């Protein structure tokens, strides 16, 4: 894990006891909205990752996203979603205490461009979709699913336990459940998310629902089996044009060395359909489809491979490659791209 952003001056939080419960021991790193520390829980002695918001008091959008993530994670109790153990204020800044994990992101595991062994891919995909289905039942849309937000922590057998991270862009389908209702955290026509895993309607700033997660999950699962995202390009605009206009790639053409079950390709085709109504309604339906795909027996990992899941600790600040993992918020890649998207949606409706 990178320590980029480490404070140059002595950190006033180091050594502090927060809310008579958390003793801050060391600085781990800094992300877009929070600085992350290793802390000890005085009530049980366990280590936690304590993230403190690092924004400005008047930055209502950033602060609102921080509150939304804390609330979403605090209400979503699932073995494959990172667990929040506390939330409060320190020096007038909100903080959230999360379980401290050791392992690596799915992005890091796929960084060499090689797909996962098929049995391992199934093992990861089932946990991933199980957590997502649970969140969808609770009416929570993640909106930024990608390998960098899927963490793999080793269990006793050396196989990964999946943990979904980062609900900062979460959308609560019930306005009453939203901790920052009334505060605009997004703007109409503004694209939020990560281009490599972004559905067409999200790319064009349209209203989103559970099916944006279905599309992004389809992109993540495609990468598990292929070793690469479904749509690549030299720029964000080129990538987004692929999502909007290009057919879903055929896994068999990318993986000529393996036999691809037709049901698996059908799953990708349905999850990444251009029109939301043509996709699975939610992650629960997608999980059921995955469970119906013929799959090989899961083989235990070797000792050397087991070490892959114990390399780093979780915060939300893993290094990002420039194009592949650059999360962004901007008004649009280009006006022409949005026009193409609008025309595509009109044509597909007729």
Task: Indicate which CATH number applies to the domain containing 296.
Answer: 1.10.510.10
pLDDT at 196: 94
User: Binning pLDDT at 50, 70 and 90, where does residue 124 land?
Assistant: very high
Residue 7 included in any domain? no
pLDDT at 85: 87
Is 144 part of the annotated catalytic residue set?
yes
What pLDDT digit, counting tens, does each position of 133-189 carry?
999 999 999 989 999 999 999 887 778 999 999 876 778 777 655 544 444 444 444
pLDDT at 334: 38
173, 207 Cβ separation under 8 angstroms: no
Residue 210 included in any domain? yes
Domain check: are 39 and 131 in the same one? Answer: no
Domain check: are 85 and 169 in the same one? Answer: no
Residue 291, domain extent: 102-349
> What contacts 12, CB < 8 A, 6 or more positions away?
91
Domain check: are 198 and 339 in the same one? Answer: yes
Query: Domain total for the chain?
Result: 2
Question: Cα(329)–Cα(340) distance, rounded to whole angstroms?
Answer: 20
Residue 300 included in any domain? yes
Residue 8 included in any domain? no
262 pLDDT more than 80:
yes
Domain check: are 205 and 161 in the same one? Answer: yes
Domain check: are 41 and 119 in the same one? Answer: no
How would you class 239 by CB atoms within 10 Å of its CB: exposed for 0-12, middle for 13-18, buried for 19 or more? buried
Residue 95 included in any domain? yes
Residue 169: closest CA among 52, 85, 66: 66
Tell me which DSSP letter residue 80 carries. Answer: T
Domain check: are 220 and 340 in the same one? Answer: yes
266 pLDDT more than 80:
yes
User: Binning pLDDT at 50, 70 and 90, where does residue 229 land?
Assistant: very high
Which of 75, 99, 123 lies at the terminal end of a domain, its last residue?
99
Domain check: are 178 and 295 in the same one? Answer: yes
Question: Cα(76)–Cα(98) distance, rounded to whole angstroms?
Answer: 13
Whole-number mean pLDDT of the chain?
A: 79
196, 239 Cβ separation under 8 angstroms: yes
Domain check: are 91 and 177 in the same one? Answer: no
Residue 163: closest CA among 106, 122, 247: 106
Domain check: are 78 and 116 in the same one? Answer: no
> Any idea which of 83-97, 99-113, 204-218 has the lowest mean pLDDT?
83-97
User: Binning pLDDT at 50, 70 and 90, where does residue 226 land?
Assistant: very high
Question: Cα(329)–Cα(210) distance, rounded to whole angstroms?
Answer: 20
From the list 11, 19, 144, 148, the catalytic residue is: 144
Domain check: are 58 and 195 in the same one? Answer: no
- Averaged over 211-236, what is the pLDDT? 95
Which of 99, 115, 149 lies at the terminal end of a domain, its last residue?
99
Residue 140 included in any domain? yes
Residue 328: closest CA among 216, 186, 233: 186
Is 292 strand, coil or helix?
A: coil
Residue 10 included in any domain? no
What pLDDT digit, counting tens, does each position of 19-58 carry?
999 999 999 988 767 789 999 999 888 999 998 887 654 4
Residue 1 included in any domain? no
115 pLDDT more than 60:
yes
CATH, residue 48: 3.30.200.20
pLDDT at 214: 98
Which of 50, 75, 99 lies at the terminal end of a domain, its last residue?
99
Domain check: are 148 and 270 in the same one? Answer: yes
Domain check: are 219 and 298 in the same one? Answer: yes
DSSP string computed for 98-150 = EE--EEEEHHHHTTTSPPPPHHHHHHHHHHHHHHHHHHHHTTEE-S---GGGE
């Amino acid at each position: 894990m990178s320590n980029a952003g480490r404070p140059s001056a002595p950190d006033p939080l180091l050594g502090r006891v927060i809310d008579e419960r958390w003793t801050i021991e060391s600085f781990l790193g800094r992300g877009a909205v929070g600085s992350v520390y290793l802390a000890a829980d005085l009530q049980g002695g366990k280590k936690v990752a304590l993230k403190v918001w690092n924004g400005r008091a008047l930055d209502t959008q950033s602060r609102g996203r921080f509150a939304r993530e804390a609330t979403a994670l605090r209400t979503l109790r699932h073995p494959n979603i990172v667990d929040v153990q506390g939330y409060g204020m320190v020096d007038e800044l909100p903080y959230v205490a999360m379980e401290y994990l050791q392992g690596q992101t799915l992005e890091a595991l796929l960084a060499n461009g090689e797909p996962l062994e098929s049995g391992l891919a199934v093992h990861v995909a089932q946990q991933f979709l199980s957590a997502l289905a649970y969140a969808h039942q609770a009416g929570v849309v993640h909106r930024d699913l990608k390998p960098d937000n899927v963490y793999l922590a080793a269990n006793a057998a050396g196989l990964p336990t999946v943990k979904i991270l980062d609900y900062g862009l979460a959308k609560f389908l019930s306005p009453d459940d939203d901790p920052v209702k009334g505060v605009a955290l997004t703007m109409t026509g503004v694209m939020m998310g990560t281009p490599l895993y972004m559905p067409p309607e999200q790319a064009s700033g349209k209203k989103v629902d559970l099916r944006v997660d279905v599309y992004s999950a389809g992109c993540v699962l495609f990468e598990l089996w292929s070793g690469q995202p479904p749509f690549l390009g030299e720029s964000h605009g080129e990538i987004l044009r692929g999502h909007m206009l290009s057919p879903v790639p055929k896994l068999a053409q990318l993986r000529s060395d393996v036999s691809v079950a037709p049901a698996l390709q059908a799953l990708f085709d349905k999850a990444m359909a251009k029109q939301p109504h043509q996709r699975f309604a939610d992650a629960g339906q997608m999980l059921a489809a995955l469970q119906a795909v013929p799959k090989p027996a899961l083989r235990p990992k070797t000792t050397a491979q087991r070490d892959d899941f114990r390399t780093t600790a979780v915060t939300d600040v893993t290094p990002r490659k420039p194009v592949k993992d650059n999360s962004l918020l901007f008004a649009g890649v280009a006006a022409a791209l949005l026009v193409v998207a609008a025309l595509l949606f009109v044509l597909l409706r007729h």
